[in-house]
């Protein structure tokens, strides 16, 4: 899955290792199967205007973004088995619980992409080697 880093409009990096979930399968999988989301990591679901935390094992912060990656709403510490959405949202950034407040994310803050990486298999057009 490709990764980016996201910074707020004051230049503060708010997500160092943000995985991009831009395909239907990647969005469907989301954070399922993970036991936690470490500090500095996140998942950007695009396009998305709502999320659910069914089958998840830990709470998250959900940051709803508009077309220009400006924060519309933050659902803080969303526990498992909940839903959240925001009218007008085009993307949702999922962060570890408490991270949005720690990073000062609130309505009106703009996010920008700092850098972008593509997994090796996607760059070469070959499939990744099978684990032995």
| 107 contacts 68 by C-beta, under 8 angstroms | no
pLDDT tops 70 at residue 38: yes
What pLDDT shows up at residue 118?
58
Domain range summary for the chain, segments of one domain joined by +: 3-123
**pLDDT one-digit tens code per residue, 69-93:** 999 999 999 999 999 999 999 999 9
Contacts 24+ apart (CB under 8 A), 35-40: 36/96, 37/94, 37/95, 37/96, 38/96, 39/96, 39/99, 40/15, 40/16
What is the per-residue pLDDT for 120? 52
- For tokens 């720690």, name the residue: 102
Pick the CATH number of 3-123 from 3.40.30.10, 2.60.120.1140, 2.40.50.140, 3.80.10.10: 2.60.120.1140
Percentage with pLDDT > 90 across the chain: 77
pLDDT tens digit sequence for 9-23: 999 999 999 999 999
Higher pLDDT, 126 or 60: 60
């Amino acid at each position: 899955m490709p990764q980016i880093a996201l910074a707020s409009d004051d230049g503060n990096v708010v997500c160092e290792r943000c995985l991009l979930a831009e395909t239907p399968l990647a969005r469907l999988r989301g954070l399922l199967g993970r036991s936690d989301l470490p500090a500095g990591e996140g998942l950007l679901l695009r396009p998305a205007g709502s999320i659910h935390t069914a089958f998840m094992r830990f709470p998250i912060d959900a940051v709803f973004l508009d077309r220009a990656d400006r924060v519309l709403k933050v659902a803080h510490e969303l526990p498992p088995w909940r839903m959240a959405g925001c009218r007008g949202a085009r993307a949702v950034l999922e962060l570890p619980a408490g991270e949005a407040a720690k990073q000062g994310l609130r309505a009106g803050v703009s996010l920008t992409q700092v850098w972008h990486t593509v997994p090796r298999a996607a760059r070469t057009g070959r499939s990744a080697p099978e684990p032995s």
